[in-house]
Amino acid sequence: MPIAGELARLPLGPENGILPTDLLIPFFIAVWLAKKIIAPQDSISTLSPQPVNRPLRSVAQSRHLKPLVIFCLIAGLSLLQAFIFLKPSEVISGSFYLIRFASYALIYLAVSDILKTEKQATRLFNAAIAAALLIAVAGFIQLAVYPDMGKLEEFGWDPHINRLVSTWLDPNFIGGFMAFITCVILGVTAYTKKLSTKATLYLTAAILMTALFLTYSRSAYLAAGAGITVLGILKSRRLLIAFLVIFILAIGLSPRAEQRVTDLGYSISSFIFNTSANPDATARLRIKSWEQTIELISKRPLLGSGYNTLRYVNYNEGFVSDPKIHSASGSDSSLLTVLAATGVIGLAPFLWFYYSVVSAAFINWRDKKLTPFGRGISLGLFTGLISLFCHSLFVNSLFFPQILIPVAVIIGIMESVSKRRDI
């Protein structure tokens, strides 16, 4: 789990450097695949010369793998056609990011394969919770010791003040992650019978929600609200009522949070009714980002401008002054980013992949033969992805590496426990 966040970024490469996970995870996936390829065959049929149940073949049967592979192939094709209008070095840079995305996404497959028992899956889930708590605690310390991020503006970061950014240096991404992982925790809690464990999980969720609240991220507020509302409707009305009461009280006790929510209402109204009465500069910048991205999409609608080459395309179009700033690499919306980078041809398998995961989570949750932990993690993933999709409408969170890792890990845990039923 990315506890160190951006603080661990290494000053390598032409843009903003790389994270240690950018090296470690591809290596881990390569080693895992190599072991699967060279693994001995499980058995040989006496009636056929062909081997039965090859390890790699069993892994390749994952329902989510096909759309993921198709998306990566189309993303690679989008990079090949980008040689026409971009420098070779810029296209090659995008290819490295595609390798990163593919390896991060394949974490789910490796986790699902490696976890052999529910006890192992539970331990990994607990480790994910512990990592989230450490990130939250680091955020509390940052808010108390270093609340002004203004000095980081020269390094391409936004100058946030008195907002929890933790080691990720961005309140919106931290907030989106906290919303996702809180939904997962609450899903598991709903199917936990042991009172001490249930109390610990609720306390953990409360700490993470406090961290989310202190980000003052409106997209994170919306994400948490969407995910917990769905979870409350499906499983626990009392949880939904408790969340609404606590949220309203917290907003009432925090003038800044109240102002952020009020600005959100004005921003939504301004966007829907296309008026200029929008008091929020951040919302205006976000809408401008959407408009610029839509302009890029209109120019190359089929295959887009090339996977993760938008920083160069935006610079060439005059939309950004420096391709090295962090906000230049995508749009303030994951779906618009996919469209701009890989076109409508790439968007289709991208949505297919997530639809496959969400539908599997919903089906697993409804399956009463699944163990309580299996149903809980499935419900949590279902509602967590709803919250993350809501968040991704306003922030490019579906491609943020520190969010990709925990999402892939939780998908892998769900896939591993879904193989076991109480029959």
Burial pattern 384-397, b for ≥16 Cβ within 10 A else e, equals bbbbbbbbbbbbbb
Q: How far is residue 3's CA from residue 20's CA, in Å, rounded to a whole number?
A: 12
Rounded Cα–Cα distance for residues 171 and 139 (Å): 10
User: How far from chain centre, in Å, is Cα 129?
Assistant: 16
Neighbours of 238 (CB within 10 A): 9
Cβ-Cβ contacts under 8 Å for 12 (sequence gap 6 or more): 18
Spell out the residues 6+ positions from residue 59 whose beta carbon is closer than 8 angstroms to its own: 36, 109, 113
Q: Are 205 and 384 in contact (CB under 8 A)?
A: no
pLDDT value at residue 51: 44
DSSP-derived letter for residue 202 is: H
* Interatomic CA distance for residues 135 and 402, integer angstroms: 11
Q: What is the pLDDT of residue 329?
A: 67
Of 37, 99, 142, 135, the residue nearest 307 (C-alpha): 99
In order, the DSSP letters of 87-137 are -HHHHHHHHHHHHHHHHHHTHHHHHHHH--SHHHHHHHHHHHHHHHHHHHH
**pLDDT (0 to 100) of residue 261:** 75
What are the tokens at 378? 């499935």
For residues 7 and 302, give the distance between their C-alpha atoms in angstroms, rounded to a whole number: 37
Q: How many CB atoms lie within 10 A of CB 277?
A: 8
Nearest-angstrom CA–CA distance, 416 and 110: 10
Tokens of 120: 């192992």
DSSP secondary structure of 221-245: HHHHHHHHHHHHHHT-HHHHHHHHH
Distance CA 341, CA 343 (A): 6
Q: What is the DSSP string of 298-355?
A: HHSTTTTT-TT-HHHHHHHTTS-S-TTSGGGGS-SSHHHHHHHHHHHHHHHHHHHHHH
Tokens coding 53: 């149940």
Alpha helix segments (H runs only) across 168-217? 171-190, 195-215
Q: What is the mean pLDDT of each run of 10 residues along the chain (423 residues)?
A: 80 70 91 82 43 57 90 96 92 90 94 93 96 96 91 77 92 96 96 94 96 94 94 89 86 82 65 55 74 90 92 84 66 90 96 96 94 96 97 92 95 89 45
What was the pLDDT predicted at 56? Answer: 64
Supply the pTM of this predicted model: 0.90
Q: Which residue has the tokens 């690679």?
A: 76
Sequence-distant (≥ 6) Cβ neighbours of residue 274 within 8 angstroms: none
Interior/surface letters 163-177, b for 16+ CB within 10 angstroms, e for the rest: bbbbbbbbbbbbbbb
- Crossing angle between the packed helical segments 88-105 and 107-114, to the nearest 10 degrees: 30
Tell me, what's the pLDDT at 46? 40
What is the distance between the alpha carbons of residues 140 and 161, in angstroms, rounded to a whole number?
Answer: 14
Q: What is the DSSP string of 355-374?
A: HHHHHHHHHHHH-TTB-HHH
Domain map (residue ranges) of the chain:
61-417
